[in-house]
Structure 1
Amino acid sequence: MGGNANSGIVAEQKSSEIYTYDAPWHIYSMNWSVRRDKKHRLAIASLLEQYSNRVEIVQLDDSTGDIQSDPNLSFEHTYPPTKVMFVPDRECVRPDLLATSSDFLRIWRIADDSSGVTLKSVLNANTNSEYCAPLTSFDWNDADPRRIGTSSIDTTCTIWDIEREAVDTQLIAHDKEVYDIAWGGVSVFASVSSDGSVRVFDLRDKEHSTIIYESSDPVETPLVRLGWNKQDPRYMATLIMDSPKVVVLDIRFPTLPVVELQRHQASVNAIAWAPHSSCHICTAGDDSQALIWDLSSMGTSSDSAGERPDGGLDPILAYTAGAEIDQLQWSSSQPDWVAIAFSSKLQILRV
């Protein structure tokens, strides 16, 4: 892990590798494929103000340098997908699956020969109600890929067993809408909400949750995104609605941020922890900037971690896009690649 600390320097030595794909619509959600046999493959989804939306699976052609969409792997979707995610299966032992969230959680299967995409399951937790509470986000459990956790505006989080196509657990997670969810282990997940709190849940003790952080300026300002550091699960990061600040938390010391990153000039929309390093994080927002930060100084001890609440940290790498950046994803199978989406453009950048 430590060997990647100077990745910013390496990036300058290589020809700056940036590839762009222009979608036929505004990109609302996007994500990298995880499988090792599908390098530089991503899914992108549309934001169209209508019932019918689109998902495309695109891939970089190394020989031409073009990101190309495969018409066979483009399909219609109900409402704009709030998130898309490929199955966390680097070793290719499972079917090639893609999940999307909007009105319901949907699981799609990509044919082994990439000849098409079929809808495998539509998972609806509220079968006894005509009303459907839209899903704001979901996360696929790395450690147990049968499990997907969803977050909803109806204050609940639902844990699905996608193989049984059944609800494992549904719990009222917050007092208001839940905007994001992230796994921190096989049975531990966290969520953020319009009620301004980050809460951690353990499926082995469903009666209790731990409040790790509450927004205070003003009180109950909604928290909209959550990223859990896979390389060091003591740390997570959250975004405050319409704020240029990124709050980094140490779950061992609840309520007080370990550091606040304050170099964005406008609202931050997306965060991604490095998949290969415990101390690097990327953030992106309405200032058209994608920033990579080295948080190794934030502390080996709680004392040094708490010394800089002013966010006096500067990013080690900055990239300016052509418009406000809505989406950001760091490739777990190719950790020197980051993808951003702004307006109708998808860009993949070597970092």
Structure 2
Amino acid sequence: MTSRNGRQTEKEVYQYDAPWPVYAMDWSKATTEKEGYRLALGSFMEEHTNKLQVVTRGDLAALDEMERTRRDYYDPAKYEQDFVPLAEVDSYYPITKILWEPRKNARDSDILVSSSDYLRVWELSDSPSRHDNSISSRRSYNEPLRQTLVKRSELVNVKQSDFCAPLTSFDWNEVDPSLIVTASIDTTCTVWNVETGQAKTQLIAHDRDVYDVAFMHGTADIFASVGADGSVRLFDLRSLEHSTILYEAPPASTSPSATSNFASVISDGSQPLLRLQFNRINHDLLATFRMDSDTVQILDIRYPSAPVAELTRSHRSNVNCFSWSPTHPGHICTGGDDSQVLVWDISNKSQAPGNDTTYNGSTRHGRQPHQRDRQQQQTNHGPILRYVADSEINSLSWSQSLPRWIAVGFGRTVQALRV
């Protein structure tokens, strides 16, 4: 369906089927619609060459081509694909995380950072032929690599050996975009100056592997980390000789199941904590979850030791990912092995039964989800929005610049859901 000006009306779901399993994912931070609908995607293949790719909505790509070539019409065939690739580059190791720069720079290019064996800085820029308007140089938008990803630097901190421990995650400071903090399986966190490519400081953050790290929003100095030892630890760059343990997961189960035994072995008896993210608006709140758990813990740094809320009894299998809303202090989205994407409102503690909105249905090949319907709520902290995908949810990204959209990744499929 198109509007009178040739623009497609927005759909509820846009879908991209990648040629490889998708794991890392992030929306562009650009504020314009044309640039804001870009997604950076990273593959996760253990035995093959991995990929870093940037895609954008197909209808916006078609309009961009119309403007670039100064034509007064558009090609309806450009609307056949919800997303089209803009650029792609090889990465030997699986990509554990991707982030666009917090603020768009003044140049015509964008900066992205990816983590795997090293931290790599990429520049997304126009291909040389992009600004050439001669008839012979015009290219169809269906042709790949309209833009290029150029590696600008590798951030490596190897002092005593050639071994570099893999990076499990990182975070980019939005108050001071020169700062990036990384987490590694060697128990350390490293703070980098991304502009100079130099490590500012490295500290032993946990007793075992560090799985995730995040800056507290609104500050350039405070960050937290989680890891295999089952703790959430808070650090201040102004006083690194001290740290605060905000939360410790209870001991791992002694049941003979394979998953519980694995968790016990890697954590020395604690339940490992896998992910961490600070609330974007209420800076005192952060979310985390344990390995092999269907529950998300909400912590308040002012009241350590115990969660102030738990999101439970709605996921029917392990939680894998979450993402806080960029505009609402109480909204958080979670995804898990049960193929569910749930949006919760943690500020609505007295939610009455029957107020849960359900959002189900297959969306393969552009089909729209079923109508939203009502479902009896079993807990006070039940989700306010529910979406069911075709397989396990591996990644989530709630767009900061276009907060109506949440990107979800499962298998080789990426879907942008309008909320």
TM normalised by structure 1 equals: 0.89
Could you say which residue in structure 2 is the equivalent of 1:62? 59
Q: 1:203 to 1:93 in 2, by over 3 A?
A: farther
1:246 to 275, 291, 296: 296
Letter in 2 for 1:78: Y
The alignment partner of 1:116 has SS state of strand
1:207 to 234, 241, 264: 241
Letter in 2 for 1:148: I
Q: Report the alpha carbon displacement of residue 315 of structure 1 after superposing the two structures with TM.
A: 0.4
Q: Are 1:43 and 2:40 an aligned pair?
A: yes
| 1:160-309 correspondence runs (5 A) | 160-184=192-216, 185-218=219-252, 220-262=270-312, 263-298=314-349
Letter in 1 for 2:82: I
Q: 1:85 to 1:19 in 2, by over 3 A?
A: same
Q: Report the alpha carbon displacement of residue 55 of structure 1 after superposing the two structures with TM.
A: 1.1
Q: Percent identity?
A: 45
Q: 1:235 to 1:223 in 2, by over 3 A?
A: same
Letter in 1 for 2:307: P
Aligned mates of 1:112, 1:183 — CA distance in 2: 31
Q: 1:145 to 1:94 in 2, by over 3 A?
A: farther
8 Å Cα contact 2:97/2:115 also seen in 1: yes
Q: Report the alpha carbon displacement of residue 36 of structure 1 after superposing the two structures with TM.
A: 1.8
Q: Report the alpha carbon displacement of residue 68 of structure 1 after superposing the two structures with TM.
A: 3.1
The alignment partner of 1:297 has SS state of coil
Aligned mates of 2:388, 2:347 — CA distance in 1: 24
Q: Report the alpha carbon displacement of residue 66 of structure 1 after superposing the two structures with TM.
A: 3.0
8 Å Cα contact 1:141/1:148 also seen in 2: yes
Aligned mates of 1:319, 1:68 — CA distance in 2: 20
Aligned mates of 2:294, 2:106 — CA distance in 1: 39
Q: 1:216 to 1:32 in 2, by over 3 A?
A: same
Q: Are 1:157 and 2:189 an aligned pair?
A: yes
Letter in 2 for 1:345: T
Deviations 1:293-314 (A, max 9, x none): 0111359xxxxxxxxxx97411
| 1:75-90 correspondence runs (5 A) | 75-90=89-104
8 Å Cα contact 1:32/1:329 also seen in 2: yes
Deviations 1:168-222 (A, max 9, x none): 1111000000000011021110000100000010000010111110000436100
8 Å Cα contact 2:44/2:50 also seen in 1: yes
Aligned mates of 1:34, 1:169 — CA distance in 2: 27
Aligned mates of 1:193, 1:179 — CA distance in 2: 5
The alignment partner of 1:163 has SS state of coil
8 Å Cα contact 1:258/1:298 also seen in 2: no
Could you say which residue in structure 1 is the equivalent of 2:115? 101
Aligned mates of 2:303, 2:379 — CA distance in 1: 17
Aligned mates of 1:140, 1:30 — CA distance in 2: 14
TM normalised by structure 2 equals: 0.75
The alignment partner of 2:240 has SS state of strand
Q: Report the alpha carbon displacement of residue 115 of structure 1 after superposing the two structures with TM.
A: 3.0
Could you say which residue in structure 2 is the equivalent of 1:324? 392
Unaligned runs of 5+ in 1: 1-13, 300-309
Letter in 1 for 2:230: G
Q: Which of the two has higher C-alpha Rg?
A: 2
Q: Report the alpha carbon displacement of residue 15 of structure 1 after superposing the two structures with TM.
A: 7.8
Unaligned runs of 5+ in 2: 1-8, 61-78, 128-145, 253-268, 351-377
Deviations 1:75-134 (A, max 9, x none): 101201000111011575695111110100000011156631110001111143111100
Q: Report the alpha carbon displacement of residue 67 of structure 1 after superposing the two structures with TM.
A: 3.4
- Tell me how many residue pairs correspond in the alignment: 327
Which of the two has greater helix per residue?
2
